[in-house]
Chain A
Amino acid sequence: MKLTSEEAFELSRRFRELSVELGNFRFSNWKELSAAQRRTMEDWEWSLLNASSDMITTAVGIVLDETEISFQALQESTNKAKRAIRTLKTVRKVIKVATVAVGLAAAIISKDPGAIAKNAKALIDVATEEDT
């Protein structure tokens, strides 16, 4: 049976509580316990505490797996939004291109080779420049 994230977090809590109970007992009965007994109890406490931390790691992994589909869906929406923003930036570029194209059109009409070359280059430059 597969563990859910909720169950894994609950197990982590239970292990922690057990570790605390054992620790409380060890410290409350410090003088009555032999050194060997203390050491054994301490080992159990650490093992339980680490089982608790380990269960946190497991639970985090399960949460990540459980939400993978939503993660991908949100990623897709974000990409769509970015494309929309790029479109708005493209409009800006189109107007810039039109501005330079007006100059080129005037140069062509006036049959001025120097102006045609200059404006054609300007048009290429603006059309190929990076979006800002």
Chain B
Amino acid sequence: MRQRQSIASRIPLFLLTGLLVLGVGCANLAPITEFADISAQSAAYTDLVTQYVQFPERQKRFQPSSQHALLDQMTRDRAAQRERLLLRQALIEEYMDALGQLAADEPVKYDKELDALGKAVAANKFAGEKDAAAFGSVSKILFRAVADDWRQGKLRELITESNAPFQDVVGALKLIVDQGFAGDTANEEIAIRNHYQAIILSSKDKAGIAALEEWKDTRLAEVRVRRQAITDYSEVLSQIASGHQKLYDNRADLGNKDLLQLMSRYAKELRKRFETLKNL
């Protein structure tokens, strides 16, 4: 009995010593998780890659049959790039997902398991109920502090190691979106104008011309929707890259209040863009 009381009375001291040795508190990095989660979701938007691959096939509607063999070859070339493009998007998604998990509280919370352990110890008479409860409380705090410190170290290491290749991969995807996918929409508009304008100029039927003008406008409106998606996705990539750069710049103090507020703003902006993108 005396022994038990002695253990129980020493527990606060153990706890204090443990926390002092660790020199850490559990940081709530929820805004980083929030930023990473929405980044992962937005990066996974694959419609633009599909449209890029299908572009030559869409062009056949407007171009003379003499150009079709060339467009078929282009379809094959683009189909061969499809997997590599999707892998780039999938990697950004996976990376941000891992970053979000490392920033999240959940992986380092062992409260439920430690409660069960404390109960098992008491139930099997290895300790009295009072000691078991104290053991549970102390172990929860210590385990969490140790795991949290380790987790933050890993998170810092990940951000430090990955920033350069991450900026490169995201930057490359943005370049493809801004110049490649947007270039397609510019070419698509020209093809639509060429196709309909030639028929309109050759026609003398006023009603027919009016109908053709309408068709042309409908087709051009479809391209405008695609262009908007490209603009939004490009902005999504900019936000992801910029947010990650901020994490890198502040990696020594990821729990910094200003940084966390900034991450919340990035997450909010990304969510807004992603919602627009999904609804297009």
Contacts and interface: CB of A to CB of B under 8 A. Distances in A.
A70 B158 contact: no
Most B CB contacts (10 A, CB to CB) among A42, A49, A52, A74 go to A74
Contacts of B162: 73-74, 77-78
Nearest to A101: B120
Interface stretch (B27-35, B106-114, B221-229): B106-114
Contacts of A95: 110, 113-114, 116-117, 143
A67 interface: yes
Which residue among B114, B162, B180 has the maximum number of chain A CB atoms within 10 Å of its CB?
B180
Given A61-B81, A106-B126, A99 B120 contact: yes
Contact of A85 (B56, B107, B165, B175): B107
A78 B95 contact: yes
A13 B183 contact: yes
A103 B120 contact: yes
Interface residues of A, number: 56
Interface stretch (B6-14, B63-71, B269-277): B63-71
A5 to B, nearest CB: 7
Interface string B63-86: 110110011001001100100110
B22 interface: no
B100 to A, nearest CB: 10
Q: Give the interface size bracket for B toward A.
A: 35 or more
Interface of A: 5, 9, 12-13, 16, 19-20, 23, 27, 30, 38, 42-43, 45-47, 49-50, 52-54, 56-57, 59-61, 63-64, 66-67, 69-71, 73-75, 77-78, 80-82, 84-85, 88-89, 91-92, 95-96, 98-100, 102-103, 105-106
14 contacts: A30-B201, A49-B190, A53-B55, A57-B81, A64-B84, A64-B172, A66-B172, A71-B87, A71-B91, A89-B107, A91-B143, A95-B117, A99-B117, A103-B120
Interface of B: 52, 55-56, 59, 63-64, 66-67, 70-71, 74, 77-78, 81, 84-85, 87-88, 91, 94-95, 98-99, 101-102, 107-108, 110, 113-114, 116-117, 120-121, 123-126, 143, 147, 151, 154, 158, 161-162, 164-166, 168-169, 172, 175-176, 179-180, 183-184, 186-187, 190-191, 193-194, 197-198, 201
